[in-house]
Chain A
Amino acid sequence: MSNPYEVLGVRQNASEEEIKAAYRELVKKYHPDKYQNNPLADLAQEKLQEVNEAYDTLMKNGSGSYSNSYSSTAQSSYQNQTSPEYNDIRHIIDSGNLGYAEQKLAQVRNRDAEWFFLSGMISYKKGWYDDAVTKVRTAASMAPGNFEYQSALNNIMNSGRMYQNQSYGRGYANDDMMCKLCQAYICADCLCDCI
């Protein structure tokens, strides 16, 4: 097993507080919510597990008091009542064979809300977000009370927001004053940097 300190990115004699802080950061980074319906979900899960193990090891070696590592809830994504036909297609989507799922879906004649939803999920997994949003939106408006469609839509809309928050967290500033300051700084910098 790899060095737990390295996995958590802390130094060898880090305090319990530092370990916990690093752990919390990493859990946020690899959180399953961030990778829902994402082709990278398995790799994120793997990382999270590694982080959990490292944290458990350090906590046991340290105070030995408790272990409350984050466990990712393996949830089945589809709880809805659904026709056997759609159920099949859902399984194919889950297995990752998107081409085949697309083919099967094209054979379905009745284009109801679920059809648009599944078609949107295939697009999403392919990385076709513009298409995915349009279709899932259609599904949600055809079946306004459906929790699954609504939450999938929210999830898609959220992934960009998560990125934006992270970039603010790293010092991204977008207001005019900041820009002017940056420009002034860069201009000044160019003067002493050039040639």
Chain B
Amino acid sequence: MLGYVVPHKGELKIREYEIYRSYYCGICKSVGRRYGQLPRLVLSYDFAFLALLLAALEPESESLKREHCLVHPVQKKPVTEENHAIRYGGDVMLILAYYKLMDDYLDDNSYKARAAALGLEPTIRRIRKEKEGLCQLTETNLQALAQLEKANCPELDRVEEPFAQIMKAIFQQGALETGGTVDVANLEKRQKLLGHIGYHLGKWIYLMDAYEDIDENIAKKTYNPLLYRFDYDSDKESISSFRERIRDEVEFNLIHYLAELSNGLDLLDIKKNRGILENIAYLGLRRRTEQVLAGEKPSEPDSPSVHEEQ
């Protein structure tokens, strides 16, 4: 489900790319320092965006260091020093990763997922102490989602809602994690805008995932909202003609979510790194959208994942 949120590297300045990378590495290092090596394996790019966005509301520029790490043992990489945004991004990344693994285990009886979830459990217990409300909300919404999926819900918006609400809460609470110096009125504004961004990002991620999984879901006879929303009938059409038939409507929705996400970003009181954030919102996410709609597997040239390189 995760890992769609990346910038369009070709249009980034080199300095901007360094900063972006430094958040990604910053989260990874921070998670490693606080929770040990194992939780670092679930690293995803989506939360580099969140950390970058939250930090962008603070005027102080980040302090970058160059450090070695396991994945890049020879060349030093830029790393942002740990701050509130980085810690928060890391924590919510682990919460979502954990529940995703549990979900995979319950859905497909995947023992690999169960093992990984077990490995994360001590970490989640620690995070839970501080973020009980967020964990609770995530659990409740994922249960609601499971119900809708079990009932083969044909309404796209309804089935997208739980995940969108989780992301909304994550982004909204992020406003509280940073912003120590902001007055109440501005804090409310931030929360509203961050919530708007998170909500639409959640809807976008869920729908992207659904469109990408059509083939797999048909093969495995598992639920996919698009099959019910657009009345897929295996006797009457091939999978590829189904994809083709629904493509425009899916695209309309995906683009609409990105438009709202960008509207929120445009109104946010951003103090730094606007170029990177707008690159992600207007170029990176759009390119990912077109790739998924065209059925291309993104080769991830922009985003070397830790798993792949190890």
Contacts of A166 in B (CB 8 A): 262, 282
Say yes or no: A123-B286 contact (C-beta < 8 A), given A35-B263, A43-B267, A195-B75.
Answer: no
Q: Is the beta-carbon distance between A163 and B255 smaller than 8 angstroms?
A: yes
Contacts of B157 in A (CB 8 A): 123, 126-131
Closest to B261 in A: A163
Closest to A183 in B: B301
Closest to A131 in B: B157
Contacts of A189 in B (CB 8 A): 9, 301
- From 125 to 177 in chain A, residues with beta carbon under 8 angstroms from any chain B beta carbon are 126-131, 133, 156-157, 159-160, 162-164, 166-167, 170-172, 174
Say yes or no: A160-B283 contact (C-beta < 8 A), given A127-B164, A127-B203.
Answer: no
- From 148 to 179 in chain B, residues with beta carbon under 8 angstroms from any chain A beta carbon are 155-158, 164
Cβ of B72 within 8 Å of any chain A Cβ, yes or no, is yes
Q: How far is the CB of A133 from chain B (nearest CB, A)?
A: 7
Give A123 to B199 CA distance when docked, in angstroms.
14
Residue in A29, A157, A190, A195 whose CB lies within 8 Å of B266: A29
Contacts of A160 in B (CB 8 A): 252, 255-256, 258-259
Cβ of A185 within 8 Å of any chain B Cβ, yes or no, is yes
Say yes or no: A170-B302 contact (C-beta < 8 A), given A40-B192, A159-B256, A160-B256.
Answer: no
Closest to B229 in A: A130
Cβ of B193 within 8 Å of any chain A Cβ, yes or no, is yes
Contacts of B158 in A (CB 8 A): 128
Q: How far is the CB of B36 from chain A (nearest CB, A)?
A: 25
Q: How far is the CB of B185 from chain A (nearest CB, A)?
A: 11
Closest to B250 in A: A130
Looking at A35, A159, A172, the one whose CB has the most chain B CB atoms below 10 A away is A172
Interface string of B65-103 (1 = CB under 8 A from A): 000000011110000000000000000000000000000
Interface residues on A, range: 35 or more
Cβ of A108 within 8 Å of any chain B Cβ, yes or no, is no
Contacts of B279 in A (CB 8 A): 170
A interface residues with partner B (beta carbon < 8 Å)? 29-30, 34-35, 38-40, 43-44, 47, 123, 126-131, 133, 156-157, 159-160, 162-164, 166-167, 170-172, 174, 182-183, 185-187, 189-190, 194-195
Cβ of B46 within 8 Å of any chain A Cβ, yes or no, is no
Contacts of A127 in B (CB 8 A): 157, 164, 199-200, 203, 260
Closest to A130 in B: B156
Cβ of B32 within 8 Å of any chain A Cβ, yes or no, is no
Give A44 to B268 CA distance when docked, in angstroms.
10
Q: How far is the CB of B182 from chain A (nearest CB, A)?
A: 15
Other than the given A129-B157, A130-B249, A189-B301, 16 more pairs (CB < 8 A) read A29-B266, A35-B263, A40-B267, A47-B267, A128-B157, A160-B252, A160-B255, A163-B258, A164-B255, A170-B278, A170-B279, A172-B282, A172-B283, A185-B10, A186-B9, A189-B9
Q: How far is the CB of A162 from chain B (nearest CB, A)?
A: 7
Give A192 to B252 CA distance when docked, in angstroms.
38
Say yes or no: A171-B263 contact (C-beta < 8 A), given A127-B164, A130-B253.
Answer: no
Q: Is the beta-carbon distance between B287 and A172 smaller than 8 angstroms?
A: yes
Q: How many A-B residue pairs have CB under 8 A?
A: 101
Q: Is the beta-carbon distance between B255 and A40 smaller than 8 angstroms?
A: no
Residue in A159, A170, A182, A185 whose CB lies within 8 Å of B282: A170
Give A172 to B9 CA distance when docked, in angstroms.
11
Q: Is the beta-carbon distance between B256 and A186 smaller than 8 angstroms?
A: no
Give A131 to B161 CA distance when docked, in angstroms.
12
Contacts of B267 in A (CB 8 A): 30, 40, 43-44, 47
Q: Is the beta-carbon distance between B264 and A40 smaller than 8 angstroms?
A: yes
Cβ of B290 within 8 Å of any chain A Cβ, yes or no, is yes
Contacts of B278 in A (CB 8 A): 170
Closest to B258 in A: A163
Q: Is the beta-carbon distance between A163 and B199 smaller than 8 angstroms?
A: no
Q: How far is the CB of A51 from chain B (nearest CB, A)?
A: 12
Q: How far is the CB of A88 from chain B (nearest CB, A)?
A: 25
Closest to A182 in B: B10
Give A119 to B309 CA distance when docked, in angstroms.
50
Query: Can you name 26 A-B residue pairings with CB atoms under 8 Å?
Result: A30-B266, A40-B193, A40-B196, A40-B264, A43-B189, A44-B267, A128-B158, A129-B253, A129-B256, A130-B155, A130-B156, A157-B252, A160-B255, A160-B256, A162-B259, A167-B282, A167-B286, A170-B283, A174-B290, A183-B301, A185-B10, A186-B9, A186-B302, A187-B301, A189-B9, A190-B301
